[in-house]
Structure formats: C-alpha cells, structure tokens
Amino acid sequence: MKATIDFDDTLYRRLKIEAARRGRTVRELVAEGVQYVLDTPDMTGAKGAALGTPDTPWNPAWIGSLAGFAVKVDDHSMPAVRRSIATARARGGKR
C-alpha cells in the first residue's frame, strides 16, 4: 500500500541523511519507525495524556531504577540525572 506523508523540510533532510548513513532507503527507515511505534508499549498516563505533560510526570520505562532521580531534575538530560544521582549519593542515598 502507498501513502503520502508530508514532512517538514528539515526533518526530511535528516531522514534522508540517516537512511544514507545506514545504507537504507527512506521508505525502509519510515517503515521501521512505524513498526517500532506500533510494537512499543503505549507510554500514556492516566486520562490518556502523554507522559511528560504538566498533568503527568516524565518517567520513561528505560530509566528503570533511576526514575526517582529523574523526577528531581528539570531538563531530564543524562547530565542532569547524573548530577541528581551524585547529590543523592553525597546525602547517603536519599533522593
């Protein structure tokens, strides 16, 4: 089946570059991305709101035991999470 998808120009350029880098076609990369989204558990919170919205905390599944530390940071970047962990360790493990 064919479908037409409108991409922002910058996003499409990035997609083309990534497909070339991987030695794949844009079609293959898009299909792989769609498959990934369909196979990944739904990351919505209560009321169907996406995680990370003001109504629900950001708590990705991949962060596992670090989730408690991630709640303590504003930007949720790995450096911020690492700083949070270091601060907790300095306090004797309390988050």
Q: What is the pLDDT of residues 48-86, one digit of tens each?
A: 444 445 555 555 565 566 656 555 566 667 787 777 778
Structural tokens at position 10: 């910058």
pTM score, two decimals? 0.45
Band of residue 47 on the pLDDT scale cut at 50, 70, 90:
very low
Decide which of 86 and 9 is more confident.
Answer: 9
> Are the C-beta atoms of residues 19 and 27 closer than 8 Å to each other?
no
Residue of higher predicted confidence among 95 and 23: 23
| Cα(66)–Cα(31) distance, integer angstroms | 32
Q: What is the pLDDT of residue 89?
A: 77
Rounded Cα distance, 81 and 69, in Å: 6
Calpha distance 60→49 (Å, rounded): 14
DSSP 5: -
The model's pLDDT over 23-41, given as tens digits with 9 standing for 90+, comes to 999 999 999 999 988 888 7
Q: Quick one: which of 48, 73, 42, 45 has its CA closest to 82?
A: 73
Residue 40 confidence (pLDDT): 82
